[in-house]
């Protein structure tokens, strides 16, 4: 498989208020020397304690912010700004409340200059893909949290990005809906072959979804370890979480997150 994304010694510093000197600022290193490669079509999950720089990494991937040092490459080209090759799904759905599910998907396509008939066709295809074929004309307030998140996923996919960036997309959902959407996402990933980078606080979620789990440390955020998850048939195995390979990978990630440097950290 080809390399899709490459983090090359990526460091991001912010200027923050210096608590020891009134009116002064100091540098704060949010992430330091992050280096790893994501293969084309791979599903990567990122876990780490609160404040380890997961969202900072994602912002850099979107191109909205730039690394202080190092660079991020997609298909061998450095990210220099936002682009339609990357779709983003956040924890909050950010749907337009005055537009229907279909309207929300079509809106972005219109901005991209796609003709009306094609927009409709694409919106229907992606609504069907996320299991909302019969809810196309519903407004966001008429949809459950899980359904809204499905619309948000459909909207991102409709742009046909190469890479899907997901920042704790299921965190606000109840446990049962979250599990359903995790399985749905795996199915969509298999069908579309997208490269996915998925941020989560959930160890189970990280191990269930990721082909590899990137475990980050905090202060500053660095890569502690990348754990391979040797599960091949998550969708075929209805009870995959009882699979010894799942249990042992879960334990490894849990142990990494509970080593001494994380003591007292909020995971």
Pattern 5-34, ligand ATP, x by CB under 6 A: ---------x-x-----------x-x----
Under the criterion CB under 6 A, does residue 203 sit at the interface with ligand ATP?
A: no
Q: How many residues bind ligand ATP (CB under 6 A)?
A: 12
Under the criterion CB under 6 A, does residue 92 sit at the interface with ligand ATP?
A: no
Under the criterion CB under 6 A, does residue 55 sit at the interface with ligand ATP?
A: yes
- Phi/psi for 207 (5° steps) reads -75, -35
Residue from 44, 47, 53, 129 in contact with ligand ATP (CB under 6 A): 53
For ligand ATP, which is the closer residue by CB, 61 or 109? 61
Residue 265 C-beta: closest distance to ligand ATP, Å: 10
Residue from 10, 38, 52, 215 in contact with ligand ATP (CB under 6 A): 52
Residue 46 C-beta: closest distance to ligand ATP, Å: 9
The window from 2-10, 43-51, 122-130, 230-238 that contacts ligand ATP (CB under 6 A) reads 43-51
For ligand ATP, which is the closer residue by CB, 55 or 192? 55
Residues within the interface to ligand ATP (CB under 6 A):
14, 16, 28, 30, 48, 50-56
């Amino acid at each position: 498989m080809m390399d899709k994304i490459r983090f090359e010694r990526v460091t991001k510093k912010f200027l923050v208020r210096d608590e020891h000197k009134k009116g002064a600022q100091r540098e704060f290193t949010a992430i330091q020397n992050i280096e790893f490669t994501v293969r084309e079509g791979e599903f990567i999950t990122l876990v780490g304690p609160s404040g380890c720089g997961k969202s900072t990494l994602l912002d850099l991937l979107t191109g909205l912010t730039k690394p202080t040092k190092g660079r991020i490459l997609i298909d061998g080209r450095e990210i220099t700004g936002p682009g339609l090759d990357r779709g983003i799904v956040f924890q909050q759905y950010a749907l337009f409340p005055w537009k229907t599910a279909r309207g929300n998907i079509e809106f972005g396509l219109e901005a991209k200059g796609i003709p009306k008939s094609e927009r409709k066709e694409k919106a229907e295809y992606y609504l069907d893909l996320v299991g909302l074929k019969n809810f196309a004309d519903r407004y966001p307030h008429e949809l459950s949290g899980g359904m809204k998140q499905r619309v948000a996923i459909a909207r991102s996919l409709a742009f046909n990005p190469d890479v899907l960036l997901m920042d704790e997309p299921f965190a606000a959902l109840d446990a049962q809906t979250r599990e359903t959407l995790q399985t749905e996402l795996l199915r969509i990933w298999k069908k579309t072959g997208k490269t996915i980078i998925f941020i989560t606080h959930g160890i189970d979620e990280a191990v269930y979804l990721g082909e590899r789990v990137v475990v980050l440390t905090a202060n500053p955020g660095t890569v502690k370890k990348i754990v391979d998850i040797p599960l091949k048939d998550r969708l075929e195995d209805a009870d995959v979480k009882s699979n010894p390979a799942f249990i042992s990978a879960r334990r490894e990630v849990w142990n990494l997150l509970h080593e001494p440097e994380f003591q007292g950290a909020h995971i």
